Chains A and B, each alone.
Chain A
Amino acid sequence: MNRIQKTRASAEDRNDTVVPLPSGGGATSRAFVSILVTLALPTFACAAKIGELTETSWKEQAFDFLTLQHPVLRTAVLGVLLIGFCCGVLGSFLVVRKLSLLGDTLSHAVLPGVAMGFLWNASKDAWAIFVGATAAGILGVALVGWIKQTTHLKEDAAMGMILAGFYGLGICMTTVIQNMAMGNKSGLDKFFFGQAAALSSGDIKLLGIISIITVIVILIFYKEFLAISFDSGFAQTLGMPVQVLHYALMALLTFAVVVSLQAVGVVLVSALLITPAAAAYLLTDRMHWMLALAALFGMLSGVLGAFISYLSNNLPTGPFIVLGATTIFLLALFFGPRHGLLPKILRRRKQRRRIALENTLKSVFHLCESADFKQKVFEIGELVTERNSSLSEIESEIRNLIKAGMATHLDKERDLELSSQARFKLTKIGWHRACEIVRNHRLWELYLTNAVHYQTDHVHDDAEDIEHHLGEDLVKRIEERLENPIHDPHGKLIPSRDAINA
């Protein structure tokens, strides 16, 4: 509390007197003042900053942060790194076991325990609070299990109730403590929104021990945890002590939540459990990679949150850590190579383009065919009539063909300025692909009529779709099945393999 008061005082000083504002002008100064106003308010936010408010330029602040000059800063960064690591690893198990809400339940359920730990010797003793919070957390999780087993209520309802019930009790207890004589110095408010700067060296020691225990337990029992997470019934038939392992994991989770409370706060610690793990889940298909990535993302968001909080001087760490994690998640969601939205959109667009290209090629083939394969050069106008489409559309299609190296235009002087009289010709690659598409189409029509006994007038639309997706192997097998046919059901010639390769 001492430091907070000092911080607030120094901030107010500056507001009144010096305020060496950077050359930002009105907007910056307004922002700065509004931050200071926030600071002056008796909110939790004002308490949650790292280090002293002595630097002025953000560059110096950043340099300061990166060189870790202040001991408080060092403790805070080490703290958020350990927290991010533990929460990432353990949260991964919650996410894959669809127990994400359990993290929320746990973080809220520990609050009465925090208050009890404080009451134990009326001070913020790290160990007493740790013991109290852990006991409350385990009790909460056990109650969820008990409700699920003894009633026909489902787990989510049980978790919702326990979460709110324990949290309510916790708020009552902390309010009572804060109203008591020693309460206003309790620092219990930090447990709501988190303050990395409030981490003491005792907290760091505790965090270190929990991190080491987590690593050792996960390394030794990785295969057990994997088995019970994927298929707990099967794991039990292998003779694994499923219940013991489950509660061991829950105990580790409780530890992680309890030690993270100080820095991230009761409300947001569940986000640190879930969000990095969820981001990792989007990026990988293997559990051990997910654990590694989630740990990395947890640490990254921890440092990111602490950094931004430090730069902006007065904002709380907890929300920034969670925002950092959320940013990482959003990046994974949009840009993840396998499950990302952007690659998905790009893949779809690429496929649409390919199909459009192939349809153009097919039309050129049809033109060629109607001229008995004697004519090789066509005018764009001819294609417009064949496709029954607009000149501009066909022009852009031909331009795409040229870009893909599947056609060349013969009026060089006019370059890409195509008109309905402009002449073009398919290149060898283009002609090859055109033959393949037509061949796919006609073979499929024949397959549908001969092997599956469709009516000949019902096969065209289906072939129109599938012609773009038939692979070479499948085509070969259809051909074998149909005994190397020459004509399609409409009596047209199927371009033969040899003709295509010639």
Chain B
Amino acid sequence: MKTIRQSRSIDPTIDNPMQEPPQSNQSAKAIAPLEIHDLTVAYTKRPVLYGIDLEVPQGSIVGVIGPNGAGKSTLIKAVMGLLPVASGWIKVFGKPFKKAVTRVGYVPQRESVDWDFPVNALDVVLMGRYGRLGPFKRPSKADKEIAMACLEKVKMEDYAKRQISNLSGGQQQRVFLARALAQESDLYLMDEPFVGVDASTEAAIIDILRELQSQGKTLIVVHHDLTTAPEYFDRILLLNMRVVAFGKTEDVFNFENLQKAYGGRLSILSEVALTRARKKFEGDTRENVSE
């Protein structure tokens, strides 16, 4: 039996039980791709995240949203084992991260690397294969073919031999995405993949996210744009040092929750986003009814 998930927000005033119908037995053995229990992460004693409880179901695209400094990137980095955990635990496919490295793909923030580094786009994508190779082995021809195929998926095959500083911001982001694709993982964590990219790249990325989802992969994406969030993600994690709300977008993405996450910092844009989201969900329900 697939477990019925509860949002485990620690704030008792926020309670969003997800009304999800019990599913058939086909996914009886399903282990949650990501399970976090009572996680606290601190930078030099000041907690950035605390009391995080989370269970991400397989095949979902989760948008992680929250104000600046809410700990969105910190959460991603903690899951990827890049930051020490002060208390609590994180399990990836039921195991600690170190035992499941090949099942997790990662797209870090674009600014986290030096783009003048002497490598070309294909070299970077090939690095996605390194985790599977293990030590002492060099990338084989097959690995190169996979890397090339991943570049093709993000429509960057013509730029394979280009040094990475000669790529635009959107193209660099695509290369990073291709590198994650080359990891052939089941769970992907992406840190702000839509920052500073052009519209066509944004559309291309979202197409790929949908494709990955259709293959049963799970995606967790840090996102900053409230107007597009309800359109892109089927689940939303509202974060502000702790979980403000987590659940299906239509249940969670509402004014109350956003205000709890953002405080007074909600802008006119988010109002627009909410109106749009409401319309979308109403439209969806109507379609469902007509079915």
Contact = CB atoms under 8 A, between A and B. Distances in A.
Given A237-B81, A240-B130, A220 B136 contact: yes
A96 B80 contact: no
B9 interface: no
Main SS at interface, chain A: helix
A223 interface: yes
A231 B101 contact: no
Contact of A237 (B82, B118, B139): B82
Contacts of B136: 220
Contact of A287 (B102, B108, B118): B118
Interface residues of B, number: 29
A286 B112 contact: no
B50 to A, nearest CB: 22
A234 interface: yes
Contacts of A96: 114, 117-118
Contacts of B77: 233
Contact of A239 (B101, B138, B139): B101
Nearest to A287: B118
B163 interface: yes
Contact of A223 (B81, B113, B139, B179): B139
B138 A223 contact: yes
A230 B106 contact: no
Nearest to A241: B135
B119 A230 contact: yes
B130 A238 contact: yes
B104 interface: yes
Interface string A225-259: 01101110111111110000000000000000000
Contacts of B163: 285
Contact of B127 (A222, A230, A284): A230
Contact of A224 (B118, B135, B179): B135
B5 to A, nearest CB: 26
A285 B108 contact: no
Given A234-B108, A237-B80, A286 B123 contact: yes
A284 B118 contact: yes
B135 A238 contact: no
B60 interface: no
B69 interface: no
B193 to A, nearest CB: 14
A223 B133 contact: yes
A221 interface: yes
Q: Which of A230, A236, A287, A290 has the most CB of B within 10 A?
A: A230
Nearest to A242: B82
A353 B274 CA distance: 57
A222 B118 CA distance: 14
B131 A229 contact: no
A286 B123 CA distance: 9
B200 to A, nearest CB: 15
Interface in B103-132: 104, 106, 108, 112-114, 117-120, 123-124, 127, 130-131
B98 interface: yes
A231 B139 contact: no
A48 B101 CA distance: 54
A230 B104 contact: no
Nearest to B165: A285
A98 interface: yes
Given A221-B135, A237-B80, A237-B101, A286 B113 contact: no
Given A223-B133, A227-B130, A238-B130, A98 B114 contact: yes
A290 B81 CA distance: 32
A233 B82 contact: yes
Interface in B205-255: none
Q: Which of B77, B106, B112, B118 has the most CB of A within 10 A?
A: B118
Nearest to B106: A237
A278 B117 CA distance: 12
Contact of A229 (B98, B104, B117, B130): B117
A224 B135 CA distance: 8
Contacts of A284: 118
B208 to A, nearest CB: 18
A226 B80 contact: no
Nearest to B113: A231
Contacts of B98: 239
Nearest to B105: A237
A222 B123 CA distance: 13
Contacts of A222: 138
A98 B104 CA distance: 29
A203 B240 CA distance: 60
A281 interface: yes
Nearest to A151: B44
B118 A281 contact: yes
Contacts of A98: 114
B25 to A, nearest CB: 34
B82 A239 contact: no
Nearest to A150: B44
A235 B82 CA distance: 10
Contact of B120 (A226, A235, A285): A285
B222 to A, nearest CB: 14
A156 to B, nearest CB: 16
A281 B112 CA distance: 21
Q: Which of B119, B139, B179 has the most CB of A within 10 A?
A: B119
A75 to B, nearest CB: 35
A318 B68 CA distance: 52
Contacts of B135: 221, 224
Contacts of B117: 96, 229-230, 287
A14 to B, nearest CB: 51
Given A223-B133, A237-B80, 11 more contacts: A98-B114, A220-B136, A224-B135, A234-B108, A235-B130, A236-B82, A238-B130, A239-B102, A281-B118, A285-B118, A285-B120
11 contacts: A223-B127, A223-B133, A230-B119, A231-B113, A233-B108, A237-B80, A239-B101, A239-B102, A284-B118, A286-B118, A287-B118
4 closest A-B pairs by beta carbon, nearest first, are: A238-B131, A285-B163, A239-B101, A237-B80
